[in-house]
Chains A and B, each alone.
Chain A
Amino acid sequence: MPTRDLVIGFLPLVDACLPILAQEHGFAEDEGLNLTFLRDVSWATVLDRLLYGHSDAAHMLAPLAIATTLGVGRPARAMAAPFVLGLNGNGITLRKDLAARVCEPGTFGDPQAVGKAMQVEVQAALAAGKRLRLGVVHRYSSHNYKLRYWLAACGIRPDEEVEIVTVAPPFVADAMAGGEIDGACVGEPWNSLCVERDVGTIVLATAQVWRRGVEKVLAMRADRLDERREETEALIRAMRRAGRHFVDPANWESNAAILARPHYVGGDERLILRAISDRPVLAHGGQPVSFPDFMFQHSEAANFPWVSQAAWLYSQMVRWDQLDYAEEASRQAAGVFRPDVYRTALKSTGDDLPGANSKVEGSVSQLMQVGAQQGSITLSENRFFDGRTFDPVDIPGYLATLD
């Protein structure tokens, strides 16, 4: 079988791990693929390179793939996401003194309790004529949506009572040290870097806001996916094997060392190890805290692109961009996630494939066996912290319950 090349764009974040490890451990080669990587430092550039053909596929913020498809802020280009690179893996880090007032530093707080204390801080700042500034990595990111979801559910109005600004992940620690922001919601290893530099304390994991929240996806131009369908399916199989390798504790240290290479994520491999072993250190000088679902890259069909997850992201886009809900846009947004491609890629590999493409998000509160096309899937708790559920069939009804 001749080797086929695919160029993969990515930003230096731990959750770019699956394609990188697929190449490094030979899983891509086993599928007849050779992956090369294009490392960039802004999502805008990762996206431009996808749109103008420098890359075939990219590690991408799921909401950005949807916004690009809908033409929010730029001419529409149809994108496709046939594989979810992982669930959660982000943290909410606050300035040290602020963190000390809203939780017990060194432990994960309860999102309701931290939110309530945060509301007091927000009001105190407003009374002093200031708004707390919180950084997110991009307007169209799950970081932005999960941070806003948490704040709003705790009675804090994101655009009026706090200011949410964009900060590139590598500069979050600098921005916090320089007093430009009071906190941030960002992926790893950038929360851990704030802790290491003693400028911030991790107070929550986004997994506490939504236990099974969709994070980055493998995104492609929809036409490119059609052209390179076979290679894409081969890549999906290679990344599933990389995921199995990634979650095995025996491989954590060696994988951290690979990801720490300067042409991949770079930085300190000890910080990367904390994230991939689900054992972040939350406060400077503290002990690692075990949080088994901090990153969630493989089990429970984590990589399956549930169209209901895309629909939830669209609902948040409507909510925070103050768009009018539109049936057609909703259909297009949901259509960015491509379970059909995922299914054909893994059919006859014996890997787990859910029976449905959509589910009521946040509805599982205990272990639940779900119908499978292939394999056996047991979902564990996937709740939103406020107990709401999201039924993709009725987005306007869902939105009406918010605010």
Chain B
Amino acid sequence: MVRCNMRCMNIAIIDENRARASIIEEGLAGIEGDIHVITGREGLLAKIEQIAPDIVLIDLGNPSRDVLEEYFAVSRALARPIAMFVDESDDDAIAASIDAGVSAYVVDGLAAGRIRPLLDLAVKRFNAFARLQADLAEAKGKLAERETIDRAKRILMDSKRITEPEAYAELRRKAMSSSRRIIDIAEAVVTAHDLLGGS
């Protein structure tokens, strides 16, 4: 009986961010069940009705959450009521999922023991995605920093007729003597240069 239920479990992932949705989908691949990913807003409720999910995972930033909750509230009068996953005995799990940025809804009567592993996986995947994004943002920031430092070096080389290593040494010296970062000095050089009408 339980085995059949496991196989029949329908999981819906609603996320307008396609990349994140596929990362979560991939993370849940080990779970026995059918995974359905919905990324668009259009016809959302009709799709949910068709899938008849046992579990719905939706990101906290999704503008359709209120519409979805309204649908669940109405569905309580129907044969397959969906409740919000806020079984208070598992409040830590919910807190972790909210921290990760995902909320979950489950069909009434689904055993907590079957929800927990799935939710844990989803949380891990959400956190992994957030880390990826942070890494990407950091990498982009580093790239931008390097470009600014290169520009500052060129400005110094042109205006003071010095070599590249000398220009860099100058930036570094100024940074050390004023206890600031090299990038801050470079930004100041570039800004001053722009303000004074340089190109």
One digit per residue, 1 when the CB lies within 8 angstroms of any chain B CB and 0 when it does not, for chain A 37-67 equals 0001111110011001110000000000000
- How near does chain B come to A309, taking the closest CB pair, in angstroms? 23
Selected from A42, A52, A73, A170, the residue in CB contact (under 8 A) with B84 is: A73
Known: A74-B84, A74-B86, A168-B67. A41 touches B61 (CB 8 A): yes
User: Is B63 a contact partner of A170 (Cβ separation < 8 A)?
Assistant: yes
> Which residues from A are CB-within-8-Å of B76?
73
In the bound complex, what is the Cα–Cα distance between A137 and B87 (angstroms)? Answer: 26
> Which residues from A are CB-within-8-Å of B87?
75
Asked whether any CB of chain A lies closer than 8 Å to the CB of B70, the reply is yes
User: Is B70 a contact partner of A42 (Cβ separation < 8 A)?
Assistant: no
Interface centre among B64, B66, B69, B70 (most CB of A within 10 A): B66
Known: A52-B95, A73-B84. A166 touches B70 (CB 8 A): yes
User: Is A40 a contact partner of B61 (Cβ separation < 8 A)?
Assistant: yes
Query: Which range contains the number of B residues in contact with the other chain?
Result: 20 to 34
In the bound complex, what is the Cα–Cα distance between A137 and B69 (angstroms)? Answer: 12
Selected from A48, A73, A139, A171, the residue in CB contact (under 8 A) with B63 is: A171
The number of inter-chain residue pairs (CB within 8 angstroms) is: 62
Asked whether any CB of chain A lies closer than 8 Å to the CB of B65, the reply is yes
User: Is B62 a contact partner of A42 (Cβ separation < 8 A)?
Assistant: yes
> Which residues from B are CB-within-8-Å of A75?
86-88
Asked whether any CB of chain B lies closer than 8 Å to the CB of A165, the reply is yes
In the bound complex, what is the Cα–Cα distance between A170 and B41 (angstroms)? Answer: 13
Find the B residue at minimum CB distance from A72: B73
Selected from A43, A49, A139, the residue in CB contact (under 8 A) with B73 is: A139
Which B74-121 residues sit within 8 Å CB-CB of chain A?
76, 83-84, 86-88, 94-95, 98-99, 103
Selected from A49, A165, A170, the residue in CB contact (under 8 A) with B70 is: A165
One digit per residue, 1 when the CB lies within 8 angstroms of any chain B CB and 0 when it does not, for chain A 339-368 equals 000000000000000000000000000000
- How near does chain B come to A171, taking the closest CB pair, in angstroms? 7
Selected from B60, B64, B83, B103, the residue in CB contact (under 8 A) with A168 is: B64
User: Is A54 a contact partner of B61 (Cβ separation < 8 A)?
Assistant: no
User: Is A42 a contact partner of B88 (Cβ separation < 8 A)?
Assistant: no
User: Is B88 a contact partner of A44 (Cβ separation < 8 A)?
Assistant: no
In the bound complex, what is the Cα–Cα distance between A148 and B34 (angstroms)? Answer: 40
> Which residues from A are CB-within-8-Å of B88?
75
> Which residues from A are CB-within-8-Å of B65?
42-45
> Which residues from B are CB-within-8-Å of A42?
62-66
User: Is A168 a contact partner of B84 (Cβ separation < 8 A)?
Assistant: no
Find the A residue at minimum CB distance from B71: A166
In the bound complex, what is the Cα–Cα distance between A40 and B87 (angstroms)? Answer: 24
User: Is B61 a contact partner of A45 (Cβ separation < 8 A)?
Assistant: yes
In the bound complex, what is the Cα–Cα distance between A45 and B66 (angstroms)? Answer: 9
User: Is A138 a contact partner of B60 (Cβ separation < 8 A)?
Assistant: no
> Which residues from A are CB-within-8-Å of B83?
74
In the bound complex, what is the Cα–Cα distance between A166 and B70 (angstroms)? Answer: 7
Asked whether any CB of chain B lies closer than 8 Å to the CB of A220, the reply is no
Asked whether any CB of chain B lies closer than 8 Å to the CB of A17, the reply is no
In the bound complex, what is the Cα–Cα distance between A51 and B12 (angstroms)? Answer: 24
Report 7 cross-chain contacts, Cβ distance below 8 Å, ordered by A residue: A42-B62, A45-B65, A49-B98, A52-B98, A73-B69, A73-B84, A139-B70
**A contact residues vs B (CB 8 Å cutoff):** 40-45, 48-49, 52-54, 73-75, 137-139, 165-168, 170-171
With A40-B60, A165-B67, A171-B63 already in contact, 12 other A-B pairs whose C-beta atoms are closer than 8 Å = A43-B65, A43-B66, A45-B60, A48-B103, A52-B99, A54-B98, A73-B73, A75-B87, A139-B73, A166-B67, A167-B67, A171-B41
**B contact residues vs A (CB 8 Å cutoff):** 41, 60-67, 69-70, 73, 76, 83-84, 86-88, 94-95, 98-99, 103
Give the 5 A-B residue pairs with the shortest CB-CB distance, closest first.
A42-B65, A166-B70, A44-B65, A41-B63, A52-B98
